[in-house]
Each structure stands twice: as structure tokens, then as C-alpha cells.
Amino acid sequence: MKIPLCIPCVGEEELDAIRSVLESGWLTHGPKNREFAARFAEYIGVKHAIPMNSCTSALQLALEAQGITGEVILPSFTFVASANAIVNAGAQPVFADIEYDTCNIDPSSIKASVTSRTEAIMVVHFGGQSCRMDAVMQIAERHGLAVIEDSAETIGGEFRGQKAGSFATGCFSFYPTKNITTGDGGMLTTDNDELGGKVRALIAHGISSIAHEREGQAKPWFRSAMYAGYNFRMSDILAAIGVEQMKKIDGMNEARREHAAYLSERLAGLDQIDLPVELPECKHVYQMYTIKVKDVNRDEFVGRLRNRGISASVHFDPSVHLQEYYRTLGTSPVPLPVTERVSRSIVTLPMYPQLNTVELDYMVKVIKETLAIMETV
């Protein structure tokens, strides 16, 4: 049996949407962008949602548009794009530790990392579960810091009934492994009118109006740049896919939650692994289903699963502060023992809505058999 790490959940609706855009002749930044943005803003519960080419671009502009060039606290346990966005915005990454159970940034580590140069906190909602946003927002308010939510992995996740990406400036990814996909692409969310307007201009070469909107004007060719912007726009082809994905998101997330519960029930009680934890304050949407191995060689364990057709992987090893570029550039005023422990032990198992009980049972069977034959280290 072969079980991939992830399969995008797309169907005839997405194909029809793509065909409709191609036939319309309006392929770039146009009406489907507006529809996708409106649906996404309503779903997250914010005033503004701005589609763009990637979550990385959203993270960078979340910083640039607020003029943040000082220290930005973030977890080292994340994909390198989070730190890259900080550097490319002209700011300085400062790495904090995480909590073992959730793999999310530890508020006590944030507190210990704040200095007079700190300007922002970038939380990363790991694998489908929100960070402890009450504690994060309290720290930010106490020190006058901006907050950016890297919500790439947590589209639809909630903390105390509020969607991730709605507490501050949210940044989302639509890469094929995420809770919804457009093939690639991202979104920035905010309730701040000024920030939203500036980001809209920055994604389109610094020009505040888009071509589709100018068509009804007396001089639709007139374009005046307000900023030295970028071409970070999303095409209408991708936005059309996003519109269809938004119609399915709750059902897809519920399927992920059901699969996670099925796995956790059947893997419970194994001494060699720790299962994912869903905090009582949170709604976990399981963009990833991760376990942590204990007293066995993690890399050997992953290799054995892959040899038996289970496309297990690791997120994230090495953590960012140990990667070559960031060994000298990044700073970490606090020790990161939990980050390094988790990086050595975490395993990502296949997770996507289309999984069936035959595949889930096979995963459980192989994991149990593999652990039974592996030597303790």
C-alpha cells in the first residue's frame, strides 16, 4: 500500500472554475480575486483579506507595511520562510522556544526575549492549532509590540472561538499541503484600514488601484505608484480555485479532525510515542498529524515507515536557528532546549481529507509493528 503525505482535495468544481476564468479572458488580478478575498475575510472574521502570491510575501509585507525594522521574536521551530520574511523586510529575527505539547511558541520564552529593540512578535500556529493568543496579545500590549500571525498551517483553527489570523495581522498559505489550496498563493488579513490599503498597493508595484477597477474610469491607463512595490499579486485562475475551496473548507477540516481522532484512539498507550495534543481552548484542524518518538532512532523510524509505503516526513529539522545562514544572522537570547528536543523526535504522518479507514488502519498497524522491532536507543 502507498499512502502519500498529502493529496490536494480538488475536483470538478475547481476544473470548471479554471475553465470559466480562461474563457472570460480576465486571467490576472481581477473579479475572482475580489470574490475569494470577500469569502476569506468573512470566514476569518476580519475586514480585509488580500490575496497574493504566497504566505511568505504576506509575512514580509505585514512587517514592511508597518515599518518594522527592529527585532522580531519568532519560534525557531518553523519553516525557514518565517525567518526569511523578517530578514527580507529589513528586520532582525530573534528566536524563542516552544511548548513541547503543542509545538507552538512558549509565551514565557517570548517574555524573556523582549528587549528595547523588540518591535514585533511573529507567532507560528503549528500544524493546525492556534498559539495561546491571550498570553501573546497581553505581552504585545504590555510592550507596545505588533503581532503577526503566521497562520500558514492553521486555516480554520480557533482559539476560544476566534479564528487564527484574526487576532492581529494574519498570513496564510494555499500551498498544496495546506487546509485549502490554490496550487500556490497566500493571503493577508487585517482589520486595519490603513494597513490593508498599503498592502494592496505594495503587492501591485505600489499602485493603489487595480486594472479591473480602472476599466470604468475616464483614463483607465493612468497609474501612479505610491510606494516602491512588488509584483506579489495572485492570478484570477488561482483565486477561482480558492473560491471553490472555501465552499468545502469546513467539511475538509472536519474530515481531518475525524482522521486525527481515529489515529490517536488507536495509537494511544504506546510508550515509544507522544501523540498530538489539542488544547481545550483550541479547535485543531490538523494540517499535519505529528507524533514524537521516544527512546528510538527517529530517522530510522521514518525510513522504515517509508519503506512500507507510508510517506512520513519531518517538520522541522533542523530548526531555523541551527541552519547555516541563521547560525550567524539570527539571535537567541534564551536557550532553546524544547525546540531542539522536538526537532530530533517529531514525525509527520500522512493527513488529508480523502484518507479512508483501510489506510488509517494500515498506518496504525505499521507504526505498532515498527516500534515493536526497533531497538531502544
Quote the CA–CA distance of 352 and 76 in Å, as a whole number. Answer: 26
Quote the CA–CA distance of 229 and 227 in Å, as a whole number. Answer: 5
Of the residues 32, 178, 198, 292, only one is catalytic, namely 178
Residue 178 annotated among the catalytic residues of the structure: yes
Residues 6+ apart with CB under 8 A from 153: 124, 125, 126, 127, 128, 173, 178, 179, 287, 288
* Set of cell numbers at residue 73: 521574536
Q: Per-residue DSSP letters for 83-112?
A: HHHHHHTT-EEEEE-B-TTT-SBPHHHHHH
Residue of 312, 317, 314, 252 whose CA lies nearest to 286: 252
Angle at 202 between CA 200 and CA 208, to 5 degrees: 55
Quote the CA–CA distance of 254 and 242 in Å, as a whole number. Answer: 18
Catalytic positions, written as ranges? 178
